Structure 1
Amino acid sequence: MDIEQLADACGGLAWISERLFEVEGRLATGSSEGELLDARTRVLLARSSRRHGQHAQWWRAALPDSPALAGADRVRPPTDAWARLLGHMEDAAPVGAVAALCEVALPQLTLVIEHFGQELSPVSDGAVIRTARMVAADLAEERYDLKEVWNSPDVPSDGALEELAERFADNYRKKRWPPLVTH
């Protein structure tokens, strides 16, 4: 993975982390319209929101500081699938947003981090490898804790989440992001 591909990957991961920080924070505070989530779910979302905020800072810190590479400009939606998923989560009622988080966002982000880590070189990418490992550990804990409080259906009844998940499968077949990652 060259420096530009690494910058694109870190920028995309920063964007995802920032959006999850915002969405989970909104869900945790109950400041959205619609049904309220139970207290335990909101506490877990608040903790996860803070962690995603920290992850965003780590990914931004991994961006190159060279003006020629324009690291800050690389913080953007990495794919259309991620943009649509986070848009769906921002617009959905709390229960729908948590379903999207549990059924699509966290599994997909875990998969991206796992495959991204395999593309990194311990010689030149040590700091990014460490960041990826810490983020992966936090994601594993988040997924485990949310499974205990969230009983989501295997197949969403409205089909919206299924369609969003299919977009990720298409991205993987075309190897769009992170760069050069084979899924």
Structure 2
Amino acid sequence: MDIEQSADACGGLAWISQRLFEVEGRLATDLDDGKPLDDRARLLLARSSRRHGQHAQWWRAALPDSPALAGAERVRPPTDAWVRLLAHLEGAAPTEALAAIYEVALPQLAFVIEHLGQELLPVSDGAVIRIARMVAADLAEEQYDSREVWNTPSVPSDDGLEELASGFADDYREKRWPPLVTLPR
């Protein structure tokens, strides 16, 4: 992976992390939205939101600071599937948003980070490798802790989530993200 591809990956991951920080933070503190979430779910979302905020800072710090590479401009939606998913989270009722987070967003994010790590080289991508490992550990812990709060089924709970999840299949075809990550078939 060259420096531009690495920058695109870090920028996309910064965008995802920032958006998850915002959405989960809102869900953790929003008490007036229809059926409110229980305290355990709100606590999990509050902790997760803070972590995603930290992850966004780490990914931004990994962006190149060369004006020629325009690192800050690379913080943008990585794919249409991520845009659709985050838009869904913004407009969904709290319980529907919680389902989308734990059934679609976090598994997809963990998948991307796992496969990104396989494309990085220790000599040139050491900082990004460390960030990816820390983020992966946080995601694994969150998915584990969520089992007490949210019993995640292996298939999304409704047709809308299944459609959102299947939208990521295009990310893993010819125009993949992160750039040039070769995924096993």
- TM-score using structure 1 length: 0.96
CA RMSD, aligned part only? 1.3
CA gap of 1:32–1:126, structure 2 versus 1, over 3 A, is: farther
Q: Distance in 1 between matches of 2:161 and 2:142?
A: 20
CA gap of 1:157–1:56, structure 2 versus 1, over 3 A, is: closer
- Code of the aligned partner of 2:146: L
Q: Which residue of 1 aligns with 2:18?
A: 18
Q: CA deviation at 1:152?
A: 4.3
Q: Distance in 1 between matches of 2:41 and 2:48?
A: 10
Unaligned runs of 5+ in 1: none
Q: Which residue of 2 aligns with 1:96?
A: 96
Unaligned runs of 5+ in 2: none
* Correspondences of 1:1-183 after superposition (within 5 Å): 1-31=1-31, 33-156=33-156, 158-183=158-183
- Code of the aligned partner of 1:87: A
Q: Distance in 1 between matches of 2:10 and 2:116?
A: 10
CA contact (8 A) 1:29 1:42 kept: yes
Q: Distance in 1 between matches of 2:123 and 2:113?
A: 19
Q: CA deviation at 1:180?
A: 1.1
CA contact (8 A) 1:175 1:181 kept: no
CA gap of 1:92–1:180, structure 2 versus 1, over 3 A, is: same
Q: What secondary structure is seen at the aligned counterpart in 2 of 1:137? A: helix
Q: What secondary structure is seen at the aligned counterpart in 1 of 2:151? A: coil
Q: Distance in 2 between matches of 1:3 and 1:49?
A: 29
CA gap of 1:71–1:37, structure 2 versus 1, over 3 A, is: same
Q: CA deviation at 1:169?
A: 1.3
CA gap of 1:32–1:178, structure 2 versus 1, over 3 A, is: farther
Q: Distance in 2 between matches of 1:152 and 1:114?
A: 20
- Code of the aligned partner of 2:33: E
Q: CA deviation at 1:32?
A: 5.7
| Per-residue CA distance 1:44-76 (angstroms, 9 max, x = gap) | 110000000000000000000011110000000
- Code of the aligned partner of 1:49: S
Q: CA deviation at 1:31?
A: 4.7
Q: CA deviation at 1:173?
A: 2.1
- Code of the aligned partner of 1:169: A
- Code of the aligned partner of 1:149: V
Q: Distance in 2 between matches of 1:136 and 1:120?
A: 15
- TM-score using structure 2 length: 0.95
